[in-house]
Structure 1
Amino acid sequence: VFDCPVYLSSDDRVWLVEPEPRPNNLIRRFIEGDGAEYSIPNRDGEDIGVKAIKVGGHFPGSLVLLHDSRLLVADTLMPTPAGLGDWGDRERPKGMNSFAFMWSYPNMIPLPPPTLASMWRVLGRYSFTAVHGGFPGLDIESKDVKKRVWESMGIQVGAERGGDGGELFAEEFGLMFPQ
C-alpha cells in the first residue's frame, strides 16, 4: 500500500502469515542477529541517521528505532504514568519507575530479570534523550531518560527478587550504568 520497506527481526519471521507481497521488489527487510543494528536509508540509499535496533523483550525480535537521540519504542518498554510527571527541581521519589517491561501487557506479566539484562546490554550502548511510546501521550523527554530506563529495570528486578533492585541488577548480571 505505502510502497515502503518494512523492517522486521528475523526472529519474528514465524509470525508472518502472508507471503512477500512483491517478490521482485522485497518490501520486508529482515534484521539478523542478537543486538543487531541496521541503518535505514532513504529512497536513494543514503544513510539518514535512523537505526533499527533489535532489543528483544516480550518478543525475541522486538525492535526500537533511534533517530536524533530519540528512541521510538512502541511497547518494547512502556513509559508509565509515574514516568510522565515533571518534578522540576525536586528529585524523583526513590522506587518510582518511569518504564515497565512486560511479557504480556494485557495480563500484566513482567519480563524476567535475565531478559531485562539482555535488553540493557543492547540499549546501554546508545545515547538518547527522549523515549516515545506506542500510544499518544506516552513520551518522556529528559536528559536523564536513559538513566531512568536503567533505574526502572532495577526497580522491576527488586520487586521480583526483593532488596535494592539497582544493586541486584548490577551484581547479578555484571551490569553498570555507563557514566
Structure 2
Amino acid sequence: MKKYICITCGTQYPASSHPPEACIICKEERQYVHPDGQQWTTLEKMQQSGNYSNHFVDEQKGMKSITTIPDFGIGQTAYLIEEQGFRLLWDCIAYLDDKTKNDINEAGGLDAIALSHPHYYTTQVEWAEAFNCPIYIHEDDKQWVQEYTDRIIFWSGESLEISEGLVLYRLGGHFDGGAVLHWTKQSDHQAVLLTGDIIQVVADRKWVSFMYSYPNLIPLPAEIVMNIAEKLKPLKFGELYNAFHREVTGQADLAVQRSAERYVAALEGRLIKD
C-alpha cells in the first residue's frame, strides 16, 4: 500500500494498492491534467531519488519561506511564521524529508498548520503527523480534502484567531473557503497579509490580481472581487506575500483596493482606452 502523490499538483491520496484513476484536484477546471496524462509518485520515491531538497529563506524577523528545489507540483512557497512563541506553517508543500523535520524542530517545531485553499493541501497529513499539530481548513472547502485525519479542524464563519496576532479570514473567490492570514507582528506592528493565491501578486509588484483559475485564465466576476476588497477594508497591512515568492511592500492594503477597482473596470470595459 502506498500513498500516491499527483506529480502535477502535489496532492497526496490515502494509501492504496494502485494509483487512483485520476487526481480529483487536477480534473477540476481550476487546475489541469498534464498534457502527457496523469502521473504519480510517492513521498518515499521522491526522498530516495536524492533530487529534492527544501530551501529556507529568512524573509524578515519572525518569518521564513520554505520552497522545494527543483520545483515540484505547482511550485508554491510555504511560510513559517513565529508570533509570540507560536509557530504556524502557512500553506504546505508536498516534499518533506528528515532534514526539513530536523531543521524545523531545532528551531521550535510547529504549533499549527493553516491552509489557504485546496491546491496547497498536498502532503498536509504527513506534515501534521511529523510535527504533532492541527491543520486549519475552512469548512467550505471540506469536499476537496482527499486524505482525512482527526488533526484537521474545519473552521467556520468569516474569521478565526489561531493565536494572538495570527488571524485567518475567509475571502472566497478562487475557492469558496479561500482564506488569507493576517499577521499583526507584535514586534513592530507592521502587519503582513499572506494570501496563497487567493490574491496574487502580479509582475508589477505594486498591484495584485484575482482569478477563478490561474493556469486556465478564468476570471472572477466583478461582484466577487469587490466583495473580497470590501472584506479587507478594515484590515491594515503594509506587506502582502503570495505563494510564489512575490510581495507587495509598502501600503499593500491600498494596493489591494486599487487593484480590485482596476480589475472590475477591466471587466466592465472601462479600462480600455480609445
Structure 2 length as normaliser, TM-score?
A: 0.48
Identity within the alignment, %: 29
Aligned residue in 1 for 2:170: 54
Give, in angstroms, the shift of residue 154 of structure 1. Answer: 1.0
Aligned residue in 2 for 1:133: 242
Q: Distance in 1 between matches of 2:216 and 2:271?
A: 26
Which of these residues, 148, 163, 167, is aligned with residue 19 of structure 1?
A: 148
Give, in angstroms, the shift of residue 121 of structure 1. Answer: 2.3
AA at the equivalent of 2:242: G
Bigger relative CO (Cα 8 Å, ≥ 6 apart): 1
Q: Distance in 2 between matches of 1:127 and 1:51?
A: 13
Q: Distance in 2 between matches of 1:148 and 1:56?
A: 19
Unaligned runs of 5+ in 1: 42-47, 85-97, 166-179
Give, in angstroms, the shift of residue 72 of structure 1. Answer: 0.5
Q: Deviations over 1:65-108 (max 9, x none)?
A: 11121000010010111125xxxxxxxxxxxxx01101000011
Give, in angstroms, the shift of residue 111 of structure 1. Answer: 1.1
When the two chains are superposed, the root-mean-square deviation of aligned CA atoms in Å is 1.6
Give, in angstroms, the shift of residue 18 of structure 1. Answer: 1.9
Q: Deviations over 1:91-139 (max 9, x none)?
A: xxxxxxx011010000111111111122122111211111011012x01
Q: Distance in 2 between matches of 1:152 and 1:121?
A: 12
1:111 aligns with 2:220: yes
1:78 aligns with 2:200: yes
Structure 1 length as normaliser, TM-score?
A: 0.72
Count of residue pairs brought into register by the alignment: 137
AA at the equivalent of 2:133: C
Runs of 4+ in 1 over 4 A off after TM superposition: none
Q: Distance in 2 between matches of 1:7 and 1:125?
A: 23
Q: Residue 155 of structure 1: SS of its match in structure 2?
A: helix
Cα contact 2:205–2:247 (8 A) shared by 1: no
- Name the larger-Rg structure: 2
Q: How does 1:1-179 map to 2 (within 5 A)?
A: 1-20=130-149, 23=150, 27-33=151-157, 36-41=158-163, 48-68=164-184, 69-83=191-205, 98-136=207-245, 138-142=246-250, 144-163=251-270
Unaligned runs of 5+ in 2: 1-129, 185-190
Give, in angstroms, the shift of residue 164 of structure 1. Answer: 5.8
